[in-house]
């Protein structure tokens, strides 16, 4: 979870001809599957596709709304985000939140490729038996868990006949050496 403070600002309302003052507003944000699901249901776009193209403007503001855990009294708070606030949000969103890494195997062809929407992630969680309570985790940590589960469920590659023979030869030579025999 990311906690930051959006500073209060002074604005002028031209319709009412008066100054409006907002107060400092703390935001508790969670970059999770729940947040992504809320955003996708409103914008009817795949979040990760939008992120790769660069989510900006109203879509970004709305995603921050979807990430917000605490009550925000004045919606203008989201339009008062400072550059430091925005940088902190992007840094938090890009953090892996785990020490685990899963490397893609070169040349390995993956199965069917679906666009990674929130529903696809929920389906993967169901298939892998991952409890739905993890949809509150940081999304990068959840995606790493899914990749680890997939990796552990993938059978290892078979040895070629030559590799099998070489392995057996090495085992026999080791046994001969250990027992001081010739065969």
pLDDT tens-digit readout, 53-101 = 988 899 999 999 999 999 998 888 998 899 999 999 999 999 999 888 8
Residue 117 confidence (pLDDT): 92
Residue 155 confidence (pLDDT): 77
Residue 175 confidence (pLDDT): 86
- Cβ contacts of residue 163 below 8 Å, gap of 6+? none
Partnered with residue 21 across adjacent β-strands are 10
Q: Can you give the residue ranges of every domain in the chain?
A: 2-94
Exposure string over 17-53, b if 16+ CB within 10 A, otherwise e: eeeeebeebebebbbbbbbbbbbbeebeebbbebbee
Which regions of the chain are under pLDDT 50? none
Q: What is the pTM of this model?
A: 0.75
Residue 179 confidence (pLDDT): 84
């Amino acid at each position: 979870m990311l906690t930051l403070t959006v500073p209060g600002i002074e604005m002028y309302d031209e319709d009412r001809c008066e100054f409006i003052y907002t107060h400092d507003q703390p935001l508790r944000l969670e970059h999770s599957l729940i947040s992504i699901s809320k955003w996708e249901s409103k914008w009817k776009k795949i979040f990760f596709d939008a992120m790769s193209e660069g989510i900006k403007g109203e879509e970004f503001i709305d995603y921050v709304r979807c990430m917000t855990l605490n009550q925000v009294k004045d919606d203008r708070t989201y339009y008062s985000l400072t550059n430091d606030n925005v940088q902190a949000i992007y840094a938090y969103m890009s953090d892996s939140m785990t020490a685990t890494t899963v490397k893609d195997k070169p040349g390995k062809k993956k199965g069917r490729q679906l666009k990674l929407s929130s529903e696809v992630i929920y389906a993967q969680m169901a298939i892998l038996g991952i409890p739905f309570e993890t949809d509150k985790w940081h999304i990068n940590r959840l995606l790493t868990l899914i990749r680890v589960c997939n990796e552990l469920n993938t059978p290892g590659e078979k040895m070629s006949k030559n590799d099998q023979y070489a392995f057996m030869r090495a085992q026999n030579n080791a046994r001969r050496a250990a027992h001081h025999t010739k065969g």
